[in-house]
Chains A and B, each alone.
Chain A
């Protein structure tokens, strides 16, 4: 139980709360373009460790409102263009704070519906880039807005299934290589639309379990290095298809804990690297999913990557096998 003592929760909270203030200002400012997602990572982390009050709710609500565009979509920060990625992050934040009524949901629904293409795929924004990540963003956001019936679900499903590969995984477009992050998006997408039975569970589960390396950490593709964020993409997918027991979660826990920065707080991708909020969130959601510190970390939902109580409160029940 030695590793139980080693999780420095207070330091990690401090790291997240002060990230914009103490961190290298240049680095911080030039990451403006993903700020809304950064906020989602931080808010979700704080909620999971019972510290949501560390952020000022009113400021966050104002930030959300300020970044919703007349098209209905959300931008990552002031003055930038809207995109599906940040629209999902914005709605996730709104759901965690239970302030959905503060944003214009009807306009957001129109924005997302307008991004679906003839073949069922979704563009990330008005410039037309297609990716299965955006299919996930679209249905995840619409499920929070109770508006899944507004898109052509069957076509959306066909498109995602056309990205399935011989190894049971999914790529970003038809024909492209399987990747754990993409698999998380596609399996999550099928879970939200109740179509997990379309997945080849034994094949995909096996491929995902092969992501675990001798260090206990997980990689995202064969013969790549382990990374804390992949532990989330892989185990959340395994959880959805009911095969989490196909890896060694005790070893995974040891690996994740070894990636915490004991000086500054925060987690990095691999031991000894620079910590950041992205890896800090996925370290904690990973630990939550394998129930490593149940007294310190709330349960996480594997599909939406948000606290389970929030998903329950929103009345959502994505399919799990």
Chain B
């Protein structure tokens, strides 16, 4: 029971309510036992449909009844029209409980079923856009309903809908309310995907920083945009390649990625060569520089691979044409986040905001610590430590140990 206030009632009210409940209970028990009997006897009929509908309309979480309805649909090989009535029921149920797992799933099950039937009959596709409108409607009521967001991903994926329009949708959502972490989250997923597909370019990052700045100026205490900023500035500096092992003798390179990579997507190598941090290099026994360069040259000339699945470890045999592929986009992304002009501009703005907040804004201070760390740790060392101390002791003592741990770690890593 979430968010249900305890209400006091008079005796008379209580008695009236009791009688009402008794009646409801009787009706529920009857309908339920009839449905369960049908499940037991594998008896699929109109009465089962009607009774399960009655019960679900006021108790949408009873999964077993949704299952009975699925069995009915399969048994009768129901037509698309009847499936629409099923969808109407799910809408009634979602109004009753917009967070009902089995109701959302039942709707998806019906959609997939009618989609495959329509495709089979070579009819026109389902109207996925209507389904998207339903999501927007429910998100208007509760913009953080993660069940509805999940349904939205499902609709966009299965309906093959335009991701750029979705990016627009998150822009609208965010500008109408900056405190919408769900939208920021979705935005992150969309940008990553569109970027890999070369549908958006580096301009987007400047744009994102502006959006973040607008949000945090509006409410510096709201976490949503600040966490998103951490992704934009920090997470992207991490290389996607964790370890690269060269075996010069056998002319093989094995690459370990930090996350799963879809090799079927457009993942390219920068013509200018590898732009990796020194420390992630690991060479084999024969690490002659000219030999390395030769290997890279080979790799630069290499073309697309046909490997499928989501490997996190990959072995490249440079003598084998079919293993060759391109890398590019991730490295461009890294270059942008390190653009010093954009970064120092952002840093200046955050300093200004912190001053405006009487040098006392938790999030400004935390972000300044992160930014100074990226820009020039040695130069800002003392400021970083003093901000962390202030956060721990005065501004945000609940998380004191976090700040102290981070301080320790920074000291160790930079000693």
In the assembled complex, 13 residue pairs joining A and B whose CB atoms fall closer than 8 Å, in A order, are: A25-B25, A26-B22, A33-B62, A128-B109, A158-B260, A167-B231, A209-B402, A221-B181, A223-B224, A225-B3, A261-B6, A273-B3, A274-B6
B5, A176: Cβ atoms under 8 Å?
A: no
**B interface, size bucket:** 35 or more
B395 to chain A, nearest CB (A): 13
Interface flag for A63 (CB, 8 Å): no
B310, A79: Cβ atoms under 8 Å?
A: no
B109, A127: Cβ atoms under 8 Å?
A: yes
Known pairs A162-B260, A172-B150, A209-B398. 7 more at Cβ < 8 A?
A30-B28, A34-B61, A79-B64, A81-B64, A171-B146, A274-B4, A274-B6
A79, B36: Cβ atoms under 8 Å?
A: yes
For B321, the chain A residues whose CB sits under 8 A away are: none
A223, B179: Cβ atoms under 8 Å?
A: yes
A26, B39: Cβ atoms under 8 Å?
A: no
For B25, the chain A residues whose CB sits under 8 A away are: 25-26, 29
**A144, B409: Cα distance in complex, Å:** 38
For A272, the chain B residues whose CB sits under 8 A away are: 5-6
Interface flag for B354 (CB, 8 Å): no
Which chain A residue has the least Cβ–Cβ distance from B154? Answer: A173
Q: A29-B29, A177-B181, A246-B399 are in contact. Are A274 and B109 (CB under 8 A)?
A: no
Interface flag for A227 (CB, 8 Å): yes
Interface flag for B227 (CB, 8 Å): yes
Interface flag for A253 (CB, 8 Å): no
**A129, B312: Cα distance in complex, Å:** 26
Closest 9 CB pairs of A and B: A79-B36, A166-B231, A80-B64, A248-B398, A222-B223, A26-B21, A246-B402, A222-B181, A274-B4
For chain A, residues 173 to 220, give those with C-beta under 8 angstroms from any C-beta of chain B. 173, 175-179, 202, 205-207, 209-210, 212
A222, B398: Cβ atoms under 8 Å?
A: no
For chain A, residues 214 to 264, give those with C-beta under 8 angstroms from any C-beta of chain B. 221-225, 227, 243, 245-248, 251, 261
**A158, B61: Cα distance in complex, Å:** 30
A176, B24: Cβ atoms under 8 Å?
A: no
Which chain A residue has the least Cβ–Cβ distance from B26? Answer: A26
Interface flag for B1 (CB, 8 Å): yes
A255 to chain B, nearest CB (A): 12
* 0/1 string, B1-35, CB within 8 A of A gives 1: 11111100000000000000110110011001000
Interface flag for A146 (CB, 8 Å): no
For B189, the chain A residues whose CB sits under 8 A away are: 175
A176, B63: Cβ atoms under 8 Å?
A: no
**A269, B5: Cα distance in complex, Å:** 10
Interface flag for A276 (CB, 8 Å): yes
* 0/1 string, B82-122, CB within 8 A of A gives 1: 00000000000000000001100100010000000000000
Interface flag for B279 (CB, 8 Å): no
Interface set of B (CB-CB < 8 Å, partner A) = 1-6, 21-22, 24-25, 28-29, 32, 36, 39-40, 59, 61-64, 67, 70, 101-102, 105, 109, 144, 146, 149-150, 153, 179, 181-182, 185-186, 188-189, 222-224, 227, 230-231, 235, 259-260, 310, 312, 397-402, 405-406, 409
Which chain B residue has the least Cβ–Cβ distance from A30? Answer: B59
A24, B39: Cβ atoms under 8 Å?
A: no
B401, A269: Cβ atoms under 8 Å?
A: no
Residue from B182, B224, B231, B399 with most neighbouring chain A CB atoms (10 Å) = B399
A274, B1: Cβ atoms under 8 Å?
A: yes
B260, A273: Cβ atoms under 8 Å?
A: no
Interchain CB contact (< 8 A) of B28 among A29, A248, A269: A29
B229 to chain A, nearest CB (A): 11
Which chain A residue has the least Cβ–Cβ distance from B1? Answer: A276
A221, B144: Cβ atoms under 8 Å?
A: yes
Which chain B residue has the least Cβ–Cβ distance from A86? Answer: B63
Q: A128-B109, A158-B310, A274-B6 are in contact. Are A245 and B401 (CB under 8 A)?
A: yes
A262 to chain B, nearest CB (A): 11
A209, B64: Cβ atoms under 8 Å?
A: no
Interface flag for A308 (CB, 8 Å): no
Interface flag for A298 (CB, 8 Å): no
B364 to chain A, nearest CB (A): 15
Interface flag for A12 (CB, 8 Å): no
Interchain CB contact (< 8 A) of A81 among B67, B224, B400: B67
Q: A30-B59, A212-B398, A248-B398 are in contact. Are A176 and B231 (CB under 8 A)?
A: no
For A164, the chain B residues whose CB sits under 8 A away are: 259
A225 to chain B, nearest CB (A): 8
For A210, the chain B residues whose CB sits under 8 A away are: 223, 227, 399
For B3, the chain A residues whose CB sits under 8 A away are: 225, 269-270, 273
A76 to chain B, nearest CB (A): 8
**A158, B262: Cα distance in complex, Å:** 13
A177, B399: Cβ atoms under 8 Å?
A: no
A131 to chain B, nearest CB (A): 8
**A247, B21: Cα distance in complex, Å:** 44
B5, A273: Cβ atoms under 8 Å?
A: yes
A223, B223: Cβ atoms under 8 Å?
A: yes
For A278, the chain B residues whose CB sits under 8 A away are: 1
For A269, the chain B residues whose CB sits under 8 A away are: 1-3
A268, B1: Cβ atoms under 8 Å?
A: yes
A177, B402: Cβ atoms under 8 Å?
A: no
Q: A79-B39, A128-B109, A222-B223 are in contact. Are A205 and B402 (CB under 8 A)?
A: yes
A127, B70: Cβ atoms under 8 Å?
A: yes
A250 to chain B, nearest CB (A): 10
**A66, B150: Cα distance in complex, Å:** 35
**A79, B68: Cα distance in complex, Å:** 12
A25, B21: Cβ atoms under 8 Å?
A: yes
**A193, B182: Cα distance in complex, Å:** 30
B185, A273: Cβ atoms under 8 Å?
A: no
Q: A26-B24, A210-B223, A212-B399 are in contact. Are A227 and B2 (CB under 8 A)?
A: yes
For chain A, residues 122 to 166, give those with C-beta under 8 angstroms from any C-beta of chain B. 125, 127-129, 158, 161-162, 164-166
B1, A247: Cβ atoms under 8 Å?
A: no
For A172, the chain B residues whose CB sits under 8 A away are: 146, 150
